[in-house]
């Protein structure tokens, strides 16, 4: 049996939002605030409130407990083994050893995108629809984040 992600998306979006909001609360409660250099990087990619960003370093990105949501995240590559950063609102997960200015500027651009959308619940449906429709690499929000990557602070 194959997993039809496009058909499953309407059912997965509420689960994805709930998971992302839960993870975001954890990040905001346990993460480290930005230092002056990283705050400047965040501002340079458009973030309005860099003071709200929190970063948590982890050995690997967390996966949802829900089997369908986990499969969707892995199928799309969103939480695959090659992913080393994940932004959920003002919270950012970074895998140990990957906290470069380039990665963080990319993730901070996602923070900006969340700010523009207004919330996790407003951002995620648009983002996930793009991933399912055109793929991770071609998704406009990902292309925008890549276009705003900085290579030095």
Q: What is the pLDDT along the chain (153 residues), one digit of tens a residue?
A: 456 778 888 989 999 999 999 999 999 999 999 999 999 999 999 999 999 999 999 999 999 999 989 988 888 778 878 899 999 999 999 999 999 999 999 999 999 999 999 999 999 999 999 998 998 889 999 999 999 999 887
| Collapsed DSSP state (helix, strand, coil) of residue 33 | strand
CA atoms within 13 A on the CB side of 85: 24
DSSP 34: P
State both tokens at 71: 């499969």
In a domain, residue 130? The reply is yes
- The answer to whether residue 47 is domain-embedded is yes
Full residue range of the structural domain in which residue 55 is found:
13-147
pLDDT at 1: 40
The answer to whether position 3 is within a domain reads no
Q: How far apart are CA 134 and CA 99, in angstroms?
A: 28
- 153 assigned to some structural domain: no
- The CA distance from 48 to 42, in Å, is 8
pTM for the model? 0.94
| Residue 23 counted as domain residue | yes
**Interatomic CA distance for residues 13 and 64, integer angstroms:** 13
DSSP labels, 91-112: EEEEETT---HHHHHHHHHHHH
Do the domain assignments include residue 118?
Answer: yes
Give Rg (Cα) of the chain: 15
Domain count, the chain: 1
**Cβ–Cβ contacts within 10 Å for residue 134, how many?**
13
Tokens of 139: 């998704």
Is residue 152 domain-resident?
Answer: no
């Amino acid at each position: 049996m194959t997993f039809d992600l496009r058909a499953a998306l309407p059912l997965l979006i509420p689960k994805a939002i709930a998971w992302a909001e839960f993870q975001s609360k954890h990040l905001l409660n346990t993460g480290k605030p930005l230092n002056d250099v990283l705050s400047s990087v965040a501002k340079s990619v458009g973030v309005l409130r860099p003071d709200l960003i929190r970063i948590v370093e982890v050995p690997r990105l967390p996966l949802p407990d829900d089997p369908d949501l986990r499969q969707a995240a892995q199928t799309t590559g969103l939480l695959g083994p090659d992913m080393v950063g994940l932004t959920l609102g003002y919270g950012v997960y970074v895998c140990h050893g990957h906290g470069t200015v380039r990665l963080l500027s990319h993730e901070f651009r996602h923070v900006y995108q969340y700010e523009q959308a207004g919330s996790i619940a407003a951002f995620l449906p648009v983002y996930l629809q793009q991933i399912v429709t055109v793929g991770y690499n071609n998704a406009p929000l990902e292309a925008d984040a890549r276009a705003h990557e900085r290579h030095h602070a």
